[in-house]
Structures are given as structure tokens and as C-alpha cells.
Amino acid sequence: MSESTITTKKKNPIVRFLEIREIGALIPLVAIFILVSFINPTFRTIPNILNMLRATSYVFIIGVGMTFVLCGRGLDLSVGSQMALTGVMLGVFLINMQLPIWLGLIITIGLGVLAGAVNGFFIAYLRIPPFIATLATFYAYRGIVLGITKGSPISPIPEAIRGLGQGSFLGIAYVIWFIALLFIVATFVLRKTKFGRYTLAIGGNAESTRLAGINTRRLTFSLYVLSGILACIAGVFFTTRFTSAQPTAGVGLELRVIAACIIGGVSLFGGSGSILGTLIGSMFLIVLDNGMIMAHISAYWQQTVVGLIIIIAIVIDLVRKGDLLKKE
């Protein structure tokens, strides 16, 4: 029988369903939601769901930038510090310097661009490994925050801008509307534009991408700028939700963001991932946190659970790539 006459059997629908990358995070997310809803009916109420979505927003906004960085085989450990830096500087501009709100926001966004550009320059042009470069800026940006504030909050945030973080439309917080728009735009960019395709290509094989005529240095640089901008936006939403700019904002957030991406199926080794997966991973962390509180389980166990899930997610990624059992 010739090879051309061989017909390929269609896969079982259940098998195809389980092969979807995001399913590994979606199934436990749904399971936790249903379980905790039975334990404590308050968990499934609309106000609590909206509160969880608001908490998810900050992780997801930064997670979108991290998704692009990871897909490009990079890493950004400084996003939590960038969030704190831009939030505190917004407070400095509006409270200490009393700049107009529009000008303070523009300069703050510019600082987000600058913070991301510093990372991008170190990594793309000086060829410093992403882990080392962003670990350095993680400490540097946090140090700037503590140096400016002396460890104390800057307050009060002007009433006129608090509506950005506290306000709502149709009963839904502005930040939730923002992540809905961000999800649509980021998904389109990653899947349907040259920028997204080249990002996945550089993550899959940087040298081949370079030989194909793509400016990999400029692309890598732009990924970190994007990460910086989104960390800044998260910082603005977070700061305007409260009455003060907190120097401790974003502490440990970089690890939660990376965890959300990995749990959602973004490959730690570059070349694959989705915005939907990052959204599901972000929701999983928040639902797990909120669910354990509602179920009267110590929140300390959350870190253990998340750690185990990350290991499982990485193992699944290695199995998919065929690297786990590969012989040396």
C-alpha cells in the first residue's frame, strides 16, 4: 500500500479537547470554583466574582507583557518593581509636584517605557542574560521607590483621578473593561500580526529568525518596552484604586505573574503560549486564593499548591515538546 493511500484516522474529540494547551488550567479552575461554591455559597455571588475579576486584572495586565516576553524566550523579574515605581512616581507628580493630571499620567507612562527600555537595552544590545539583567533592575527600581518614599506612602491621591481605579460602568469596574479590551487586542497581535508571529519565531529559534532577515535585537527590545508599559498601566490602576501610592505595591507580583503564565500554558522555553491561557492562569491564582479563604483553609497552603501546579505545568510542556524522556 503506497503512502498516499494511507488515510489518517481522526482523533477522538475528547483527545483533541485534552490536547488544547489551556485545558490544563481551565479544568482545575472550574473544579475549584464549583467545589468552593458548594462549601460557601457566598463565593459564587456576583459581588465576589467582580472582586475576583478586579484582583485578576492587575496580574493579567502585567501577565500580557510577560506572555510576549516568555514567548520570545525572555524573562522579566522586574515587573513588580516597575509597577511600584510608576505608581509612586504618579503620586509624586500629582501630590508633591502638583502637576495637572493629564501631564502626570503622560510622564508616568513615559517612565514605564523607560524602565522597559532599560531592560531591553541590557538584554538585546548588551547581551546580558534576561535573568541577570531583570534581577538587577528588580532591585534597582525597588531601591528607587524606597529611596524616594523612605518607605512611607505618598498621599492623598487626588479625588479627580481616583475614579480611574475606583469607578465603574454598568456596575463593572473600569479596570475589568480594560482587561476585556486588552485581551482582544493582545490576542489579535500575538496571533494575527507580524509582531506576534516574529515573537513566537524568535522564541522557537532565534538564530533561524535572525537568518530570515528579522531584526531580532530590535524585536527583543520592543518586548521589554511592552512589558514596561503594561506594568506601568497596572501601577496606575492599582494606585488610583486607593488613597495613597504604596512603596510596597507589587512585592512578589513578578512571581505570581510568571506562575499565571506558566499555569496557563505559556512555555517557559519560548515559542508558544496564548493570551487566553494567561487570563485563565491569572484567574486560577485569584480564585484559588479567594477560595481557600472562603473555605477557611490557611492561605499559607496556597503557595504549596501553586508550586506543585507549576511543576506539573512545566512537566506537561516538556512532554509536549518531547524533551522529558529524550536520551542524551
Per-block average pLDDT, block size 10, for the chain (328 residues)? 47 59 76 86 88 92 96 94 93 90 93 95 95 96 93 86 87 93 96 93 86 90 96 93 86 89 86 90 89 77 77 70 53
Taking only the tens place, the pLDDT of each residue in 258-317 is: 989 988 888 888 888 899 999 999 998 898 888 888 877 776 777 787 778 778 777 766
Q: Is 98 left (phi over 0), alpha (psi -120 to 50) or beta?
A: left
- 65-89 in b/e burial notation, b at 16+ Cβ within 10 A? bbbbbbbbbbbbbbbbbbbbbbbbb
CB atoms closer than 10 angstroms to residue 166: 17
Round to the nearest angstrom and report the end-to-end CA distance of the chain.
36
Q: How far is CA 77 from CA 9, 116, 136, 174, 308, in A?
A: 45, 11, 9, 27, 21
CA distances from 164 to 169, 186, 302 (A): 11, 22, 31
132-167 per-position pLDDT tens digit: 999 999 999 999 999 999 888 888 888 888 888 888
Rounded Cα–Cα distance for residues 304 and 301 (Å): 5
Q: Are 93 and 104 in contact, with CB atoms under 8 Å apart?
A: yes
| Average pLDDT, rounded, for the chain | 86
Question: Which cell goes with 100?
Answer: 495637572
Contact 69, 116 (CB under 8 A): no
Beta strands in 13-158 (DSSP E): none
The answer to whether the CB of 236 falls within 8 A of the CB of 94 is no
Assigned C-alpha cell, 233: 498601566
